[in-house]
């Protein structure tokens, strides 16, 4: 049976290891998976910045794992990172294409409105300025 101080120490250790900034590489990978998936459906600059920060954090964790001699884990995490980066790059490309399509549609709409205004001007001029 545990004593009160032992329970308190275990609780504090749990808090310490779950504190922000002390995430494991697996936590970072899981978070990145969610963020990349969300970005693919709703790309924003804020989401992109958060994803970029996550990749930087993961790179640091991979470097630490390699330095600690955890080569197999570091290699596995690196492969997962590479796959996530490919998904993220595809999502960014899709977002860019959607923005370009929207911009082209807006330009087209502006030309349509300008044409209508020009047509009305010509029509008014032909009708004697009515």
Helix and strand tally (H, E) in the chain?
4, 0
Distance CA 76, CA 68 (A): 15
Max CA separation in the chain (angstroms): 102
Q: What is the pLDDT of residue 15?
A: 35
Q: What is the pLDDT of residue 128?
A: 67
Structure confidence by residue, pLDDT tens digits, 40-87: 989 999 999 999 999 999 999 999 999 999 999 999 999 999 999 999
Q: What is the pLDDT of residue 129?
A: 58
Q: Which residues contact 31 (CB under 8 A, 6 or more apart)?
A: 23, 54
pLDDT band at 38 (very low <50, low <70, confident <90, very high): very high
Domain range annotation of the chain: 23-126
Q: Pick from 105, 9, 96: which is nearest to 45 by CA?
A: 96
């Amino acid at each position: 049976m545990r004593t009160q101080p032992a329970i308190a120490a275990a609780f504090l250790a749990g808090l310490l290891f779950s504190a922000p900034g002390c995430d494991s590489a697996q936590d970072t990978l899981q978070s990145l998976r969610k963020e990349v998936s969300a970005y693919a459906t709703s790309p924003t600059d804020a989401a992109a910045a958060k994803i970029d920060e996550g990749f930087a954090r993961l790179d640091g964790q991979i470097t630490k794992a390699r330095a600690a001699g955890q080569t197999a884990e570091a290699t596995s995490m690196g492969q997962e990172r590479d796959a996530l980066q490919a998904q993220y790059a595809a999502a960014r490309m899709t977002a860019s294409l959607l923005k370009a399509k929207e911009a082209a549609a807006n330009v087209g709409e502006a030309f349509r409105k300008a044409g209508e205004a020009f047509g009305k001007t010509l029509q008014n001029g032909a009708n004697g300025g009515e």
